[in-house]
Structure 1
Amino acid sequence: MPLLTSRESSLSPVCASYGPDGAFAREVLDQVGDKWTLLIITSLAGGARRFTQIQRDTGGISQRMLTLNLRNLQRDGMLTRTAYPEVPPRVEYELTDLGRSLLEPVEGLLAWAAVHAAEVKAHRAAVDSAAAAS
């Protein structure tokens, strides 16, 4: 039996069940499941946007974190970055077909969060008050 690398041995059974690409699928999930990625994808749903527009839409993301996420999404083929030779320079980001394919699940997840927000708040309050009482 071949020895497993530390990365393979720590792979969850769920990801491992997807075969040889299971480890990479986990990496993709780490990126697309990130809170900033969800908000960036949603921000770009309406078309091309500039950096400051995306930053405004996502609310609370630092310039550095937005830059890192945009680079990672571009690297993964989820969006394109277009720099226009103008003064002042203008750069726009836009979803690719691959990135647009994420819109439905992302919007579904955000809708679920909005619909169940009160229920989640109630559960948190109950757990927090029980913890404080003990």
Structure 2
Amino acid sequence: MKSIVIYSSLTGNTKQVAEAITSVLPADTPCVSMKELPSDLSSYDLVFAGFWVDKGTANKEARDVLGTLDNSHIALFATAGVPPQMAHAKESLINAANCLPHGIEPVGTFICQGKVDPKVIEMMYKM
């Protein structure tokens, strides 16, 4: 099975998860930022697609990419500023899965807590 790991990362958390996934896949498995995607992903049987959670779903860049994926197997992974057992984290994965083209369901999902963007923390203190 030919796989690729793609990710969108703001603070580096999602990139670290992407690299960890890639480390247990065959040595020739590409790991690329969504900013540097190959023009055609149709040759991959399995796409691991990672994103950071923004407002309860995948960030904009990732949502745009997720909407174009029509591979037979897609696994979603994410990082969020909240613990993974919280409802917000679980709902974020569901919302991101809804960004996939109609009828495509992820074969698996994973979410973990990551660092929060310092700008967000600063904004929350001001509130």
TM-score (norm 2): 0.24
Higher normalized strand content (fraction of residues):
2
TM-score, structure 1 as length reference: 0.23
**Which one has a bigger Cα radius of gyration?**
1
